[in-house]
Structure 1
Amino acid sequence: MSGRRLEPLTLDSLPDLPTPCRSCVFWELAPVAAQQAERTGDTAFEKEAWLSAALLDWGSVGRIAYVDDVPAGYLMYAPAYLVPRSIAFPTAPVSGDAVLLMTGRVVAGYTGGGLGRMLVQGVAKDLTRRGVRAIEAFGWETSTDRARLQSAGGCVLPADFLRSVGFKTVRPHPRHPRLRLDLRTTLSWREDVEQALERILGSVRAPVLSGP
């Protein structure tokens, strides 16, 4: 069996994100500022600046999956106040007790092996240990808007993927529902955190997670 591990996203590991993702600022900047950064070619600088500030302000905001030491996927997450794009969604705002799951990807060649579910578990474990009550995400109903999803670079996670790993819709929308994974139950079980999260997520099989 191949060696699989998760590591926190840091400034040193930022280059391990897939090529379009390591300099994408879809979530990190407000829409107008993101467009300006794209025009001036400053997206890589802005991405690094955002990550540096977020790490100092709040701590870990991402997990990278490695398979035999090769970067194979990632997820990013942060409180909504650190994510300017979050207020632009029609189902905003994120609940006050939740952290926003922003975006992620499993690299081609590593899809279909459960890395998406493994990444969600890693994020949930980290946030549970930090006392966070829930994770929320803005999904994309890809079946109704495939062409626009592709044109946006896949920066929004597919709603079907989120549902498959335990998220529930809390505010419906034909394109961008807001979904939630409640971690409060886990905290009340008085079990080891990893065992509790395995009960929530371990029995579901994630579909292929693709994206930017």
Structure 2
Amino acid sequence: MSTLVSTLTLDNFETLPIHDRKCVFWTMDPAAVESSKGFADPEFEKEAWLSMVMLEWGPCGQVAVRDGVPVGCALYAPPDVVPRVASFPTGPVSHDAVLLTSVRAAAGADDPASLHTSLLQAVVRDLVNRGVRALEAFGVRLTEDETDARFAAPTSPRDAPCSDGTCMVESDFLEKFGFEIVAPHHRFPRLRLELDRDHGWKEDVEAALERLLAAAELTVTEADARVPVGAR
């Protein structure tokens, strides 16, 4: 199965996975979310926020689609248009950075770690091309229960609740990708990835090398399989 990662646009909002089309964890003030429960349409609010950011700032999302089915997305934006930022003890976000709000694989998606990496690479490539100096994120350190819940597929895609554990990026993943902690915290550290022109080039070269190695291994395996028994 092939996975295509492409930039979110005003015309393909429906390519976001179901949870991400309705999640307003980052895009509405926490107090407003509480007061509007049962009244606001979260999908409408999310689409309105994304449209505002794209019209005023430009692309703010990358979407992964596998065989025509949305399987994940990454969203990012200038921190001053993300209401949830004000509630974190490790804020504010640096003035020269864009904020990564989410990198998510849809419930039940195969190989979520690889999918997260592909999405984040697409984010970095976009921001490098736009001359952005850094990408920052509020990471989360998950409890054991939250980790189990994150990888357990809900009974319905619409059942996944919005919370720290489901809508934030794990600190461990960000650090493995190359982010460094700039504001420590036991629960919500803030991390930063410096961006430069080498990022996109290095990712392309590494991806090409991985493909070459995989092809070489396949060739060797096929050659071994053709050697007659007893001829080795």
* TM-score between both structures, scaled by the size of structure 1: 0.82
| Alpha-carbon distance in structure 2 between the residues aligned to 1:143 and 1:199 | 36
RMSD: 2.5
| Alpha-carbon distance in structure 1 between the residues aligned to 2:123 and 2:15 | 18
- The worse-fitting range, judged by mean Cα deviation, of 41-50 and 88-97 is 41-50
Within 5 Å, give how 1:66-85 maps onto structure 2.
66-85=65-84
Matched, 1:176 2:188: yes
1:196 counterpart (197, 202, 214): 202
| Alpha-carbon distance in structure 1 between the residues aligned to 2:28 and 2:64 | 25
What displacement does 1:198 show? 4.7
Q: How many corresponding residue pairs?
A: 195
Query: For residue 132 of structure 2, what is the amino acid of its counterpart?
Result: V
Q: Deviations over 1:93-113 (max 9, x none)?
A: 010111000012112232246
Stretches of structure 1 that go unaligned for 5 or more consecutive residues are 204-212
| Alpha-carbon distance in structure 1 between the residues aligned to 2:204 and 2:18 | 31
| Alpha-carbon distance in structure 2 between the residues aligned to 1:54 and 1:170 | 26
Paired position in structure 2 for 1:157 = 169
1:117–1:201 CA contact under 8 A, matched in 2:
no
- Partner secondary structure for residue 72 of structure 2: strand
What displacement does 1:195 show? 1.9
- The worse-fitting range, judged by mean Cα deviation, of 102-111 and 10-19 is 10-19
- Partner secondary structure for residue 15 of structure 1: helix
Q: Deviations over 1:54-91 (max 9, x none)?
A: 11110101000112232111000000011011111110
Q: Which has the larger radius of gyration?
A: 2
2:103–2:119 CA contact under 8 A, matched in 1:
no
Query: For residue 192 of structure 2, what is the amino acid of its counterpart?
Result: R
1:165–1:201 CA contact under 8 A, matched in 2:
no
* TM-score between both structures, scaled by the size of structure 2: 0.76
CA 200–105 in structure 1, closer or farther in 2 if over 3 Å, else same: same
The structure in which a higher percent of residues are helix is 2
Q: Deviations over 1:123-176 (max 9, x none)?
A: 0000000010010000101137838x8661611111111112111111100000
Matched, 1:87 2:93: no
Stretches of structure 2 that go unaligned for 5 or more consecutive residues are 151-160, 210-232
What displacement does 1:14 show? 2.0
- The worse-fitting range, judged by mean Cα deviation, of 40-49 and 87-96 is 40-49
Matched, 1:44 2:43: yes
CA 160–109 in structure 1, closer or farther in 2 if over 3 Å, else same: same
